[in-house]
Amino acid sequence: MTQKSTVSSDGVSVVGICGSLRPGSYSHSALRIALKGAQEAGAATKLIDLKEYQLIHCDGKEDESRYPEDVFRLRKEVHAAQGLILATPEYHGSFSGVLKNALDLMGFDEIEGKMIGLLGVSGGKMGALNALNGLRVVGRALHAWVIPEQTSIPEAWGVFDEEGNIKDADLKVRIMALGKQVARFSYLHSSEGAQEFLRAWEGAPLNPGGGTHD
Ligand SMILES: Cc1cc2nc3c(=O)[nH]c(=O)nc-3n(C[C@H](O)[C@H](O)[C@H](O)COP(=O)(O)O)c2cc1C
């Protein structure tokens, strides 16, 4: 039985970006599960499969006039969400280049202030921790709120069946919990109470209580 959420995230939207282009990708299968968790917590969800986007290599964004329409579609979809889940394979001790390029094609406009949850898969036993640590740094650079919860799935080739269904029920619950947390924190972060706190925080003096010492 799924546990009933005490905080409903109604009205919040969570977008998942899949950082693998491989047909039958385990990142994709895991991301679908995380988004189901977000949905159960009340969020509207969308999975962005980068295979379906005609993107360009980021060239510094100085002249975007020749950028394909899908760059702007990607930006618009991410901009509209309050929460993001980034799913990636571990590639040579980091996250995938395709995901980095997609992030490089975006910036503060799309990502600043968003809640981010991280999900990684690996072929080896060590899991996707290097990929997730790398993404955490990228999230910080974009001024996003990368939640502490994250899920790394080692030896992903043994975790899903041929249809992409997960075989381990406990792991499924953990992946769904990641999606639920992203939805709930996105909701809390966009609530009026949180916004009021942030306004007060931004307006607060740099050193409250500190005076000058003569
Ligand atoms: C270019 C490349 C580099 C990889 N590097 C690693 C690695 O450093 N560590 C590891 O455990 N697996 C590595 N793998 C295996 C992938 O993490 C594994 O196949 C994973 O399932 C791919 O993700 P996907 O199923 O979402 O496509 C690598 C695979 C490729 C194609």
- Residue 147 pLDDT > 70: yes
2 pLDDT tier (thresholds 50, 70, 90): very low
Instruction: Please give the Cα distance from 178 to 169 (Å, whole number).
Output: 15
Provide the 10 A C-beta neighbour count for residue 10. 11
Using a pLDDT cut of 90, give the percent of the chain over it: 82
Q: Does some domain include residue 27? A: yes
Pairing of strands 115-121, 83-89: parallel
Pocket of ligand 1 (CB under 6 A): 20, 22, 25-27, 89-93, 121-124, 126, 156
Domain count along the chain: 1
Average pLDDT over residues 16-25: 98
CATH code of the domain covering residue 48: 3.40.50.360
Q: Which atom of ligand 1 is nearest to the CA of 126?
A: 11
Let me know: does 188 contact 7? Beta carbons within 8 Å.
yes
pLDDT at 193: 79
Cβ(166)–Cβ(28) below 8 Å: no
- Which residue's CA is minimally distant from atom 15 of ligand 1? 123
Residue 176's pLDDT band (cuts 50, 70, 90): very high
**pLDDT above 70 covers what percent of the chain?**
93
Please indicate, yes or no, if residue 213 is contained in any of the structural domains.
Answer: no
Mean per-residue pLDDT, 109-116: 97
Confidence (pLDDT) at 213? 54
**Range of the structural domain that residue 20 is part of:** 13-203
Does the residue 185 lie in any domain?
yes
Q: Is residue 122 part of a domain?
A: yes
User: What is the total residue count of the chain?
Assistant: 214
Q: What band does 7 get if pLDDT is binned at 50, 70 and 90? A: low
Confidence of residue 191 (pLDDT cuts 50, 70, 90): confident
> Which of 31, 50, 86, 90 has the most ligand 1 atoms within 8 A of CB, as the residue to mutate?
90
CA 120 to centroid of ligand 1, rounded, Å:
10
CA of 212 to the centre of ligand 1 (A): 56
In a domain, 211, yes or no: no
* Cα–Cα distances in angstroms (integers) from residue 54 to residues 70, 102, 149, in the given order: 6, 11, 31
The stretch 28-53 carries a mean pLDDT of: 98
Q: Residue 191 domain-assigned?
A: yes
Give the full edge-to-edge strand order of the sheet including 145-153. 44-49, 13-18, 83-89, 115-121, 145-153
Q: Residue 60 falls within a domain, yes or no?
A: yes
- What is the model's pTM? 0.91
Residue 212 is assigned to a structural domain of this protein = no
Instruction: Tell me the pLDDT of the chain averaged across its residues.
Output: 93
Q: Is the pLDDT of residue 162 over 70?
A: yes
Q: Which of 81-85, 142-146, 189-193 has the lowest mean pLDDT?
A: 189-193
Nearest CA owner, ligand 1 atom 3: 91
Nearest CA to ligand 1 atom 27: 25
Is the pLDDT score of 134 beyond 50?
yes
DSSP 8-state code for residue 91: B
